[in-house]
Structure 1
Amino acid sequence: KKMAKQIVFDEELRRALKRGIDILADAVKVTLGPKGHCVALDKKWGAPSVIDDGVTIAKEIELPDPFENMGVQLVKEAATKTNDACGDGTTTSTLLAHAIITEGFKNIAAGAEPMLLKKGIEKATGAIIDEIKRLSTEVKGKEQIAQVGTITAVDKEIGDLIAEVMEKVGKDGVITVEESKGVKYETEYVEGMQFDRGYISPYFITNAEKMETLIEDPYILLTDKKISAVSDLLPALEKILQV
């Protein structure tokens, strides 16, 4: 048996969306800034989690009303995109989205044309971004990087570690963060390039005791094609034999 679909229009829909957006914004906004408060999240198992991260809080919010929940999902998407792009600023994104939607709904209720309003918001966004870029200060030097890292992680030790690693590898270096198995922060510097994959065949092993492969000055084949048979490699192998 198919479930009946609920359909709402115009002001009724906007009010439902707005209620959901208000609930999400109210839960997230208290975490804004370095003096922000924490939010307690109940879990089905174990003790509640105390969180001060906007996107983590947003991800936990689900409302029973489908239209209110739709509003939650819209703003949650904005926070998630910001987190994916920058790793921070999710609470600010949520509050900006909430403010834009609140004022937008007011203007629509007063008779504004929605598409013209959308174009106006997009133009204003572009102008604001340009002005923010003009006013911004580039982070330079180990000390400033440590300050930014400390504020973001709320931990001076992590901030100092980030600055140290970034200074060591340079702006073109690659930094990978992994969960530690111990209680201390550890750093490992790898020269050249590292692929986290093992050898495809045990016949590649050069040191049976250590079960490792060490090849000096090898030829490396880079391809964007799928290699499904040895015959795919024969032309390249024949070229190598001629060198």
Structure 2
Amino acid sequence: MAQLGGTPILILREGSERTRGRDAQSRNILAAKTIAAAVKSTLGPKGMDKMLVDSMGDVVITNDGATILKEMDIEHPAAKMMVEIAKTQDDEVGDGTTSAVVIAGELLKRAEDLLEQEVHPTLIVTGYRLAAEKAHEILKGLTKDVTPDDTETLKKIAMTSMTGKGAEVARELLTNLAVESVRAIAEKGGKIDIDHIKLEKKTGGSKDDTV
């Protein structure tokens, strides 16, 4: 935004369109739901792979939500926010990107129904925050502490994270390596700093040669 003689001037890219009110809400929700729908079919044990072809003709086959969204050319601001949700989930947790996007899309879908009933957006946000607090409380009660010496549970966690990714073909080997690496850097109390693990790629050989 710029100022000219005290009058604010909006500076937009050529071809940009400005909307407001319910129309803006509807378009933003539609864009977000479209992104969620794009990755929804990859979710779960029966999730399907997506074949992505870029402008150079390179092909990527994956069912990883973060990878799919990263390869998509997205311009809509609300859709970009959905991509950021996946990116944040991937950076912070390393898994669950598709679930995060699908849940966000479903929450917006439900919010749209409430907006059509003239429920104020602020009230909807307040309700969602209360629901998030309750969900966190319930999930916290269902959690199980995992210690570095609980090898079997650590392997199950590692295998779950590898499911649906390229590493799945050698997940037995990679699972053992991941667990050994984590246990090697684990501090007293189970605290782990993953920055202490370095991954080095070398050409040649197969996944079975990984050490």
Same-fold call, TM > 0.5?
yes
Match of 2:102 in 1: 95
Identity of aligned residues (%): 22
CA contact (8 A) 2:52 2:61 kept: yes
Instruction: Name the structure, 1 or 2, with higher relative contact order (CA <8 Å, separation 6+).
Output: 2
Distance 1:139 1:92 in 2: 23
Match of 1:135 in 2: 142
Residues 70-109 of structure 1, C-alpha deviations (whole Å, 9 max, x = no match): 2211211211111111111111100110011111111012
Residues 212-242 of structure 1, C-alpha deviations (whole Å, 9 max, x = no match): xxxxxxxxxxxxxxxxxxxxxxxxxxxxxxx
Distance 1:95 1:121 in 2: 16
Structure 1 residues 137 and 101 mapped into 2: Cα distance closer, same or farther (>3 Å)? same
Residues 115-138 of structure 1, C-alpha deviations (whole Å, 9 max, x = no match): 121111111101101111111222
Question: Larger radius of gyration, structure 1 or 2?
Answer: 1
Distance 1:144 1:177 in 2: 23
Match of 2:3 in 1: none
Q: Which structure shows the bigger proportion of residues in strand conformation? A: 2
Extract structure 1 runs of 4+ deviating beyond 6 A: none
Distance 1:81 1:127 in 2: 22
What's the Cα RMSD here? 2.2
Match of 1:231 in 2: none
1:111 to 114, 118, 125: 118
Shift of 1:22: 2.3
Q: Which letter does structure 2 place at the counterpart of 1:54?
A: G
Match of 1:216 in 2: none
Match of 2:62 in 1: 51
Match of 1:201 in 2: none
2:154 to 145, 157, 162: 145
Distance 2:120 2:60 in 1: 44
Q: Which runs of 5+ in 2 are unaligned?
A: 1-12, 163-167
Match of 1:7 in 2: 18
Count of aligned pairs between the two proteins: 182
Distance 1:60 1:172 in 2: 34
Q: Verify: 1:169 aligned to 2:194, yes or no.
A: no
SS across alignment from 1:79? helix
Distance 2:118 2:192 in 1: 53
Match of 1:42 in 2: 53
